[in-house]
């Protein structure tokens, strides 16, 4: 069924609270990503995971951490959320040998508001 | 510094009209370029990918071109429909594998009116 599922879709948290965003995929993709999308900016890569317990920082990892204990599941964790982490977060997945013909599959996004 | 610039930032057309979206980039190397469609409140969905110098692709009413010398791509939408209302995002990959980085444009917001 080629799908990337994100939970929750919407979340409001107070500054300083912890946030857990979860992502699952049913395509056995090795590689998974977390991006954030802010108005007027292109998607920014937070973390990339090449497989279970093989995670690398993206361009804006500060304030975030990730966990990948199963190939089909990738979590984004915000310890002590800040107001500037208000954003829409997208999870994506692809095959590791992602030649130009293999695209990213995106989830529908998790909209986080930190007050 | 933004390495992928899209224009226009937004565009309003009447249903049935054609439109052209532009993407200029400075990413090096430029392995491939992909256009995505993002409906409001949804994720990105791939429309087409361009790989080679002077590539042209067609996917129904969507067609795209790539000029690697000029580092420029266009997305043409013919006979627009109301469902074409969305943000169109240009993405340039610097390698062909997941080890490479993807560089995202901020998107062109297309609104199709009756």
Q: Under an 8 A CB cutoff, do B105 and A109 touch?
A: no
- Rounded CA gap, A75 and A77, in Å? 6
- Length in residues, chain A: 115
> Which of A104, A105, A108, A110 best probes binding to B when mutated, by most B CB atoms within 10 angstroms?
A104
Contacts of A90 in chain B (CB under 8 A): 43-44
**B99 has a pLDDT exceeding 80:** no
Out of A95-104, B17-26, B93-102, the most confident range is B17-26
Residue A114, token pair as written in the block: 């930190």
The values of phi and psi at residue A85, to 5°, are -95, 5
Neighboring chain B residues of A46 at a CB cutoff of 8 Å = none
**Among all residues of chain B, which has the CA nearest to that of A39?**
B106
Put simply, whether A95 touches B (Cβ < 8 Å) is yes
Residues A54-112 pLDDT 10s:
999 999 999 999 999 999 999 999 999 999 999 999 999 988 665 555 678 999 999 99
Half-sphere exposure of residue B29: CA atoms within 13 angstroms, side-chain side: 9
For B40-90, write each residue's pLDDT tens digit.
Answer: 999 999 999 998 888 999 989 999 999 999 999 999 999 999 999 999 999
Q: How far apart are CA A52 and CA A73, in angstroms?
A: 9
Selected for mutation to probe chain B from A99, A101, A110 (highest B CB count within 10 Å) is A99
Contact between chains at A4 and B43 (C-beta distance less than 8 A): yes
């Amino acid at each position: 069924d080629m799908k990337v599922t994100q939970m929750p879709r919407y979340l409001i948290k107070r500054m300083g609270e912890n946030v857990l965003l979860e992502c699952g995929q049913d395509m056995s993709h090795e590689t998974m990503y977390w991006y954030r999308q802010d108005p007027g900016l292109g998607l920014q890569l937070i973390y990339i995971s090449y497989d279970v317990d093989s995670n690398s920082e993206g361009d804006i990892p500060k304030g975030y951490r990730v966990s990948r204990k199963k190939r089909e599941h990738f979590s984004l964790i915000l310890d002590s959320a800040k107001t500037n982490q208000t954003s829409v977060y997208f999870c994506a997945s692809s095959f590791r040998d992602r030649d130009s013909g293999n695209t990213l599959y995106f989830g529908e996004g998790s909209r986080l508001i930190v007050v | 510094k933004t390495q992928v610039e899209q224009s226009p930032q937004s565009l309003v057309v009447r249903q049935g009209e054609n439109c052209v979206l532009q993407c200029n980039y400075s990413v090096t190397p430029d392995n491939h370029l992909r256009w995505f469609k993002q409906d409001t409140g949804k994720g990105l969905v791939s429309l087409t990918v361009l790989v080679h110098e002077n590539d042209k692709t067609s996917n129904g009413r969507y067609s795209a071109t790539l000029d690697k010398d000029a580092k420029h791509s266009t997305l043409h939408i013919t006979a627009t429909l109301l469902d074409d209302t969305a943000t169109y995002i240009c993405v340039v990959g610097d390698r062909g594998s997941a080890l490479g980085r993807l560089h995202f444009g901020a998107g062109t917001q297309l609104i199709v009116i009756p």
